[in-house]
Structure 1
Amino acid sequence: MQALSPHGASGAITDVAGIMVGHHSDTRRPTGCSVVIAPGGAVAGVDVRGAAPGTRETDLLAPGNLVQQVHAVMLAGGSAWGLDAASGAVRWLEEQGIGLDVGVGRLPLVPAAVLFDLHVGDMRIRPDAAAGYAACAAASGRPPAEGNVGAGSGAVVGKTFGMQHAMKGGVGTASVTVDGVTVGALIACNAVGDVVDPDTGLPLAGARTADGSALRDARRALLRGEPPHQLLAGSNTTIGVIATDAQLTKVQAQRLAVAGHDGLARAINPVHTMSDGDTLFALATGHAPRHPGMLVLATMAAEAVARATVRAVLAARTLATPEGLVLPSHAELAARG
């Protein structure tokens, strides 16, 4: 297994055979969408831990339900409006001849999840079907861009004590390989909580002090009794996709999604709050000739998710909107110190 490099890349979800990723970033305001495509289909599962989710087609993935494979997963900004991006992915996939054979044609199956970025710029601009189509058209098997791109374009972290003390979130990716089997993750981090170093628990990006010059450490501040800012329900959320080339059943894919949330818990504090809609999908392409067992795969999934979440803030860039909102990046705050 690769060693975790907190300040460098550690693989990508596209290291998984049979996986492609594409981003679309809207230049009119910071928002966008990211798509993970499995052109050959993938056994899929999902686990929703946040209390304010925005999702599409998650019931399809229940282990007891009929359909065994999906063809892409869409992650988008724009809150509930952003779910429309999945319709564009369906159109693109149909044009490529990708989907479930229903006799009269092929029906692409595209589950989706969204995050809330409406407080960053003009909320009337949000991902739509055209954005989802564009993300698919841009997809490839190369390592995807990270930071202020796709679904992470308008992502913000550390809102526990208000947006004025928050920092820029984003998209990150990572992978781990054990004995020829790879598990990767793509995470769009827009959390209420801080993003922390999984090894030390120290914050990397999140709620800042009153003067904005340092990290407050939300966990410790809350435990000291500092009152949190009143949060709008659903105005946050970390969403992502775990992918592996191992051969899994739907039950196993769902368990892999469950295990992935352990990675979120290592890298975000607090996590899975009443104001987050934290949702992770799992995809298994089945390209690897072996299966290391679910204990190993679950450990790999949590590790990949934690690393990808860290990468989301390490790769983010400072954002300033015309409305006067300034969201410093991890790199800027570290340079000040």
Structure 2
Amino acid sequence: MISSITDVAGIEVGHCTDARRPTGCTVVLARGSAVAGVDVRGAAPGTRETDLLHPAHTVERVHAVLLSGGSAWGLDAAGGVMRWLDEQGIGLEVGPARVPLVPAAVLFDLPVGDHRIRPDAAAGYAACQAASRQAPQEGNVGAGAGATVGKVFGLQRAMKGGIGTASITVDGVTVGAIVACNALGDVIDPDTGAVLAGARSADGLHLLDARRALLRGEVARSVMAGTNTTIGVIATDAVITKAQAARLASVGHDGLARTINPAHTMFDGDTLFALGTGESGRSPGLLALATMAAEACALAVVRAVRAARGITVDGLQLPACGERA
């Protein structure tokens, strides 16, 4: 059985993938609302409503999180998520009004195909319409549709990234994660240390191992800040506070660091959200939840590249894990 973030009670996921070029968005819905936190670890993020999630700020709960391609343009898709939630009567009651709260993060996929095609409000709305408790598709879909990995030595030597999901259940409490991996660095198998997908040799036929290449003095190609980024959502059915949600988002980055190298660079905007639905009515304690969160994120990153499929767009060839260049 495939584990996924939708194993967490109260969580639904929907993708919208644009058939005109590899891009799209993914929504994680918590119709009953969820306690939320965030940790922005990369130096070049594209986000919305992250200040809302600071533990010292007033609002405790949100109704959805959006992950999107399209760089800053993709933040528009959150408006569509808000509109869909509003039509369902979901939102924070503020006097006579109801305001759906939808934090969001984006990744940079504009070089893959026609950059003028980006997720918009209609895409966010469509992702909500597609949302369900079923295990979501992985690989070249939603926010992972245009994702790439291993760009340290240029996009021409990169490989296809994607979106992946996983969950872990311990003693009746579940923690799940969904991650769209668009990293500058390579993706590593945390159990073996082997490179699964990443920068390729100059002839494109072999994996280079970017970490070792950098350490022996090979010069990285000039990279613009913000042109990468791994984004994701951690969710649990445990009972947690807003401060604990922020801590889960923080330790989730440990999972990214185990599976992406180099990670959290000045060229990435790595951002993780955490949601707590509380539907299990229990909590095993923050140490156990943190361990589960980091592990779920690591598994989701590996699944993202293993589920990806190679593409060729406008002469740019991006092979996937397990495929020859």
Residue 324 of structure 1 pairs with residue 320 of structure 2 = no
Matched, 1:33 2:25: yes
**Sequence identity, in percent?**
72
3-state secondary structure, aligned to 1:330: coil
What displacement does 1:161 show? 0.6
Give unpaired runs (5+ residues) of structure 1.
Answer: 1-8
Cα separation, 1, equivalents of 2:17 and 2:85: 20
Contact 1:147–1:169 (Cα < 8 Å) also in 2: yes
Asked if residue 149 in structure 1 is aligned to residue 120 in structure 2, the reply is: no
Q: Is the 8 A contact 1:32 1:151 kept in 2?
A: yes
The AA in structure 1 aligned to 2:4 is A
Tell me how large the CA RMSD over aligned residues is: 0.9
Whether 1:16 aligns to 2:8 is yes
CA contact (8 A) 1:24 1:134 kept: yes
- Tell me by how many angstroms 1:326 deviates: 0.7
Shift of 1:104: 1.3
Which residue of structure 1 aligns with residue 284 of structure 2? 292
Q: Deviations over 1:93-122 (max 9, x none)?
A: 000011111131321000000000000000
One-letter amino acid of the counterpart of residue 315, structure 2? G
Distance 1:214 1:53 in 2: 31
What letter matches 1:53 in structure 2? P
Which of 97, 102, 112 aligns to 1:105? It is 97
Residue 23 of structure 1 deviates from its aligned partner by: 0.2
Q: Which residue of 2 aligns with 1:3?
A: none
> For residue 106 of structure 2, what is the aligned residue in structure 1?
114
> Aligned pair count?
325
Find the aligned partners of 1:198 and 1:96 in 2 and give their Cα distance: 41
In structure 1, what is the equivalent of residue 125 of structure 2?
A: 133
Contact 1:317-1:331 within 8 A present in 2 as well: no
Shift of 1:10: 5.0
**Superposed displacement of residue 302, structure 1:** 0.2
Aligned structure 1 segments of 4 or more residues deviating by more than 6 angstroms: none
CA contact under 8 A between 1:10 and 1:307: conserved in structure 2? no
Give the aligned residue type for 2:245: A
Asked if structure 2 preserves the Cα contact closer than 8 Å seen for 1:43 and 1:283, the reply is yes
Which whole-Å CA distance do the structure 2 matches of 1:164 and 1:122 have between them?
16
Is contact 2:140-2:163 (8 Å) kept? yes
Matched with 2:258 is: 266
Deviation at residue 200 of structure 1 after TM alignment: 1.7
Decide which of 73, 84, 88 is 1:81's aligned counterpart: 73
Counterpart-to-counterpart distance in 2, 1:96 and 1:248: 26
Write the letter of the residue equivalent to 1:216. Answer: L
* Deviation per residue, 1:161-206 (Å, 9 max, x gap): 1111100000000000110000000000000000000112211000
Q: TM-score, normalised by structure 2?
A: 0.99
Aligned-partner SS, 2:322? helix
Task: With the length of structure 1 as denominator, give the TM-score of the two structures.
Answer: 0.95
Alpha-carbon distance between aligned partners in 2 of 1:209 and 1:327, rounded to the nearest angstrom: 13
The reply on whether 1:164 has 2:156 as its aligned counterpart is: yes
Is 1:207 matched with 2:199?
Answer: yes
Whether contact under 8 Å (1:84, 1:129) holds in the other structure is yes
Find out whether 1:279 has 2:271 as its counterpart. yes
Counterpart residue number, 1:70: 62
Does the 8 A contact of 2:223 with 2:267 survive in 1? yes
* Paired amino acid for 1:324: G
In the alignment, the residues of structure 2 paired with residue 98 and residue 259 of structure 1 have an alpha-carbon distance, to the nearest angstrom, of: 30
The DSSP-based 3-state class of the residue aligned with 2:180 is strand
Q: CA deviation at 1:331?
A: 2.5
Instruction: Determine the structure 2 residue equivalent to 1:6.
Output: none
| 2:228 is the alignment partner of 1:236 | yes
Report the counterpart of residue 4 of structure 1 in structure 2: none
